[in-house]
């Protein structure tokens, strides 16, 4: 039953002794079930395996309290019968299986029967709302072109270099939206049903909170013509958030945020139109929550560049946030208290230029510790540290923020300064200590802030972007009227639909979190941090999770998450302090050696001579 209903399978482990080795199958799972919902925690969720430098392995439990609490909340909030799900879906539902049954590999031979059985059960539960269609391209080749055009499918290969191909696709169509259900060879009927049910629940109004996330669209670089894929960005944080929330990609181009979105997460907003800014502004004016990771600089990884550099953000949220009383500076913060960074350094060895990677202090990686956090805020109360990478300073306008609760979440150390240059490559020849020219004015800088209260709309005294777009459409319709009278007339009626009023002031429930950087959760930055300082990158992830939890007023998991899941860091030391403690250790060891020698000498002196036998 555990395998069939919940997909729980044994995990093989190789056990090696001095004279033999063997493989054992072990179960190590925790099942949390409520109603039709269940969560299975396995090895990957419960333990953390790390390899030491000497080759040995450390195995420890993850934050078990948080994993269990998170799973319980997820099954409770996500509970609803499939009948309720079907009742809430008001669009046509079609489950389409595209399977070439005659050419399936052996391990997949049972898959068509399992899918058909699960589909029949779902059709029955839906009371006729779900339609199931199975197509075999081998028997009905005439339907293949239409399927390729509709779903974008391609034949799969049994082996990478083999010529034998097959089709095994499962899609759920809700209205006009096609969502793929990913299948694997070891899936049981219970697992197939769970995957289909998950897609169904994402199509309906569920109980789980929904995060509307906006990320920069991926653009194909020039190297894409040579087969190079664009680099993935912000995928790790999205996968982390999906463990607790429904994640929905948001298109702001229509001037509105969907009503089922509980919090709007903006990551590296750039190249925004007025219509998109209007959508963000009006969402906040409705008393909702916005989390904006909106620095003024982004990492520029050009394939032709050999140095580190950043680029300025164009058409971002600076003006919108400034109207709310939060100004994002046009500079970057550097701090003597920072996280090291692997940097390529060129050495001259007898006229030969050799490049090597060295771990150097990097002032652009601002290391924020407890004295730079507002410990009264649940967002950072239990975080030991957060690293802000290439962060812009924030400034609060007291007049515009009057009446709101303002919390300075993160600030840099007193030994920090500002720099406006986009060249972030250290110059170790001119500045061997920090790699950059020291700042003239050292002071703390605000890096992240949260505000709650009444906000005034950015568009309260500006033209309505919807009306501007409408006027463009009216002109286009008028120009087309002479060529297509009836069509233009119908278009004119659509254009003249009344617009809703602009909300000029938000209720007091509105919440806003602004962070002066988005690069601190970039996948490349997190991977670098993970390789150099193990689990320290989890602090950055938890900071974003906590911000989202606070925004949706789901604060009960904040304290639990921060216990045991982050890297507990040592207090940062200056170079003079490091030298002091180093020589103190040497002196203590030398003093201990002297004391042991003196003690041994004194004991030898106190020993009485051995009495000799007089008869000998």
Residue 597, H or E segment: helix 575-606
- pLDDT exceeds 90 at position 207: no
283, with CB counted inside 10 A (0-12, 13-18, 19+), is: buried
The span from the CA of 383 to the CA of 561, in Å, is 9
pLDDT of 109-148, one tens digit each? 888 999 999 999 999 888 888 999 999 998 898 899 999 8
Q: What is the pLDDT of residue 227?
A: 44
Q: What is the pLDDT of residue 534?
A: 63
pLDDT average, residue stretch 206-219: 78
Q: At residue 328, what are phi and psi to the nearest 5 degrees? A: -95, 120
pLDDT, position 496: 45
- CA dist 545 and 382 (Å) reads 13
More confident residue, 367 or 23: 367
Distance CA 194, CA 171 (A): 14
**Sequence-separated (6 or more) residues with CB below 8 Å from residue 186:** 9, 107
User: What is the arithmetic mean of pLDDT over 518-539?
Assistant: 83
| Range from 65-74, 225-234, 424-433 that averages highest in pLDDT | 424-433
The answer to whether 163 touches 103, Cβ cutoff 8 Å, is no
The residue-averaged pLDDT of 600-604 equals 81
CB contact at 8 A, 452 and 404:
yes
- Condensed to tens digits (0 to 9), the pLDDT of residues 407-421 reads 999 999 999 999 988
Contacting residues for 124 by C-beta, under 8 A, at least 6 apart: none
pLDDT tens for 6-41 read 778 787 777 776 667 777 788 888 888 877 677 888
Mean pLDDT across 176-197: 81
What size, in residues, is the chain?
616
Who has greater pLDDT, 317 or 604? 317
Phi, psi angle pair for 135, to nearest 5° = -120, 135
Average pLDDT, the chain: 81
358 contacts 432 by C-beta, under 8 angstroms:
no
| Pair 221, 228: CB distance under 8 Å | yes
Token output for 438: 């020291």
Query: Considering only CA atoms, which of 348, 351, 431, 446 is closest in space to residue 394?
Result: 446
Q: 62-67 — which CB contacts under 8 Å span 24+ positions?
A: 62/564, 62/565, 63/560, 63/561, 63/563, 63/564, 63/565, 65/560, 65/563, 65/564, 66/557, 66/560, 66/561, 66/563, 66/564, 66/565, 67/41
Number of neighbours of residue 429 by Cβ within 10 angstroms: 8
Least confident of 102-106, 233-237, 356-360, 566-570: 566-570
Q: Is 418 exposed, middle or buried (0-12, 13-18, 19+ CB in 10 A)?
A: middle
Does residue 542 have a pLDDT over 80? yes
- pLDDT category at 159 given cuts 50, 70, 90 is low
Highest mean pLDDT range out of 194-198, 461-465, 599-603? 461-465
Q: Is the model's pLDDT at 428 over the cut of 90?
A: no
Instruction: Please name each of the domains of the chain with its CATH number.
Output: 1-64 (no CATH), 83-192 (3.40.30.10), 208-218+232-475+498-562 (no CATH)
Query: H/E/C letters for each residue in 468-529?
Result: HHHHHHHHHHHHHHCCCHHHHHHHHHHHCCCCCCCCCECCCCCEEEEECCCHHHCHHHHHHH
- Name which of 370, 428, 384 is nearest 568 in CA terms: 384
Using CA atoms, how far residue 548 sits from 186, 213, 239, 582, in Å, is 35, 11, 14, 42
What integer pLDDT is reported at residue 24 of this predicted model?
A: 79
Q: 44 vs 464, which has greater pLDDT?
A: 464
pLDDT in tens, 327-336: 999 999 999 9
Q: Is the dihedral of CA 119, 124, 126, 127 positive or negative?
A: positive
Q: What is the pLDDT of residue 269?
A: 95
Mode of pairing for the β-strands spanning 165-166 and 156-157: antiparallel
Q: What is the DSSP letter of 110?
A: T
Per-residue pLDDT reduced to its tens digit, 57-114: 777 777 777 778 777 777 766 666 677 778 777 788 999 999 998 888 888 888 899 9
More confident residue, 32 or 389: 389
Three-state SS at 318: helix
How much is the average pLDDT of 272-294?
94
Q: Which of 158-162, 315-319, 591-595 has the lowest mean pLDDT?
A: 158-162
The pLDDT value given to residue 446:
97
Which region among 107-121, 482-496, 583-597 has the lowest average model confidence (pLDDT)? 482-496
Mean of pLDDT values over 272-292: 93
Query: Model confidence over 470-485: pLDDT tens digits?
Result: 788 778 777 777 656 5
Cα torsion through 455, 456, 457, 461, rounded to 10: -170
> What gap in Å lies between CA 307 and CA 186, rounded to an integer?
46
Most confidently modeled range among 213-227, 277-291, 527-541: 277-291
Question: How far is residue 239's CA from residue 232's CA, in Å, rounded to a whole number?
Answer: 13
Highest mean pLDDT among 483-487, 511-515, 599-603 belongs to 511-515
pLDDT for the residue numbered 327: 96
* pLDDT score recorded for residue 574: 65
Task: Indicate if the pLDDT at residue 512 is higher than 80.
Answer: yes
Confidence check: pLDDT of 262 > 60: yes
| Burial class of 339 by CB neighbour count within 10 A (0 to 12, 13 to 18, 19+) | buried
User: Which band of pLDDT confidence, cut at 50, 70 and 90, is reported for residue 490?
Assistant: very low
Residue 103: predicted pLDDT: 85
Q: Are strands 289-293 and 246-249 parallel, antiparallel or unpaired?
A: unpaired
Higher pLDDT, 398 or 507: 398
pLDDT of 231 > 90? The answer is no
Higher pLDDT, 176 or 594: 594
Q: What is the mean pLDDT of residues 531-540?
A: 76
CA 73-76-80 angle, to 5 degrees, is 145
Q: Taking the mean position of all CA atoms in its chain, how far away is CA 520?
A: 10
Question: In the prediction, which pLDDT does 270 show?
Answer: 94
Helix, strand, coil % over all residues of the chain, rounded to 5: 35, 25, 40
H/E run at residue 98:
strand 93-99
The 3 state secondary structure assigned to 332-385 is EEEECCECCEEEEEEEEECCEEEEEEEEECCCCEEEECHHHECCCCCCCCCCCC
The residue ranking higher by pLDDT, 68 or 163, is 68
SS3 394: strand
pTM as predicted: 0.64
Asked whether the predicted pLDDT for residue 233 surpasses 50, the reply is yes
Burial 75-113 (b: 16+ CB within 10 A, else e): bebbbbebeebbeebeeebebbbbbbbebbeeebeebbe
Closest among 504, 407, 501 to 455, alpha carbons compared? 504
Whether 467 shows a pLDDT value over 80: the answer reads yes
Residue 449 backbone class (left: φ over 0; alpha: ψ -120 to 50; beta: rest): beta
Is beta strand 310-312 parallel, antiparallel or unpaired with respect to 326-328? unpaired
Amino acid 563: pLDDT: 54
Helices 465-481 and 274-285: crossing angle in degrees, nearest 10, is 140
Note the pLDDT of residue 226.
Answer: 45
């Amino acid at each position: 039953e555990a395998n069939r209903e919940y997909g729980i399978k044994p995990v093989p482990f190789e056990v090696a002794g001095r004279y033999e080795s063997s493989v054992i199958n072990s179960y190590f799972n925790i099942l949390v079930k409520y109603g039709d919902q269940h969560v299975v925690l396995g090895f990957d969720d419960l333990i953390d395996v790390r390899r030491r430098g000497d080759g040995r392995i450390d195995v420890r439990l993850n934050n078990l309290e948080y994993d269990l609490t998170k799973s319980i909340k997820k099954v409770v909030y996500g509970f609803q019968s499939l009948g309720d799900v079907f009742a809430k879906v008001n669009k046509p539902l079609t489950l389409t299986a595209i399977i070439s049954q005659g050419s399936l590999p052996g391990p997949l031979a049972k898959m068509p029967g399992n899918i058909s059985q699960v589909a029949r059960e779902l059709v029955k539960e839906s009371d006729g709302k779900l339609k199931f269609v199975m197509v075999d391209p081998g028997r009905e080749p005439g339907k293949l072109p239409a399927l390729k055009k509709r779903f974008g499918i391609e034949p799969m290969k049994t082996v990478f270099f083999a010529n034998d191909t097959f089709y095994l696709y499962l899609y759920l169509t809700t209205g006009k939206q096609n969502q793929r259900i990913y299948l694997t060879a070891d899936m049981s009927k219970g697992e197939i049903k769970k995957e289909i049910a998950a897609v169904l629940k994402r199509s309906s109004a569920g109980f789980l909170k929904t995060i509307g996330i906006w990320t920069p669209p991926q653009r194909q670089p020039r190297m894409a013509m040579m087969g190079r894929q664009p680099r993935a960005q912000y995928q790790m944080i999205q996968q982390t958030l999906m463990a607790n929330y429904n994640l929905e990609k948001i298109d702001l181009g229509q001037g509105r945020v969907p009503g089922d979105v509980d919090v709007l997460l903006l990551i590296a907003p750039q190249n925004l139109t007025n219509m998109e800014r209007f959508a963000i502004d009006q969402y906040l004016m409705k008393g909702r929550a916005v989390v904006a990771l909106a620095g003024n600089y982004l990492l520029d990884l050009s394939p032709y560049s050999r140095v580190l550099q950043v680029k300025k953000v164009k058409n971002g949220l600076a003006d919108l946030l400034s109207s709310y009383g939060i100004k994002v500076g046009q500079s970057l913060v550097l701090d003597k208290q920072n996280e090291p960074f692997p940097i390529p350094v060129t050495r001259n060895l007898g006229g030969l230029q050799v490049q090597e990677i060295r771990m150097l202090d990097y002032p652009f990686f601002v290391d924020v510790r407890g004295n730079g956090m507002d410990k009264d805020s649940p967002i950072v109360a239990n975080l030991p540290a957060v690293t802000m990478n290439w962060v812009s300073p924030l400034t609060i306008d007291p007049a515009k923020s009057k009446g709101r609760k303002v919390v300075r979440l993160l600030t840099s150390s007193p030994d920090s300064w500002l720099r406006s240059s986009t060249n972030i490559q250290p110059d170790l020849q001119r500045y061997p200590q920090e790699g950059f020219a020291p700042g003239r004015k050292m002071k703390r800088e605000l890096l992240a802030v949260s505000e709650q209260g009444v906000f005034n709309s950015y568009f309260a005294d500006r033209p309505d972007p919807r009306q501007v777009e409408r006027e463009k459409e009216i002109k286009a319709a008028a120009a087309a009227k002479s060529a297509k009278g009836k069509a233009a007339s119908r278009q004119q009626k659509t254009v003249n639909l009344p617009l809703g009023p602009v909300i000029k002031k938000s209720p007091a429930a509105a919440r806003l979190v602004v962070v002066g950087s988005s690069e601190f959760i970039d996948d490349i930055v997190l991977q670098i941090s993970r390789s150099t300082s193990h689990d320290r990158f989890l602090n950055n992830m938890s900071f974003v999770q906590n911000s989202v939890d606070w925004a949706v007023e789901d604060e009960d998991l904040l304290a639990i998450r921060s216990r045991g899941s982050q890297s507990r860091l040592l207090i940062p030391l200056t170079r003079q302090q490091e030298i002091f403690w180093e020589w103190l250790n040497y002196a203590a060891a030398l003093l201990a050696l002297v004391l042991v020698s003196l003690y041994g000498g004194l004991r030898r002196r106190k020993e009485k001579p051995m009495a000799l036998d007089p008869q000998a």
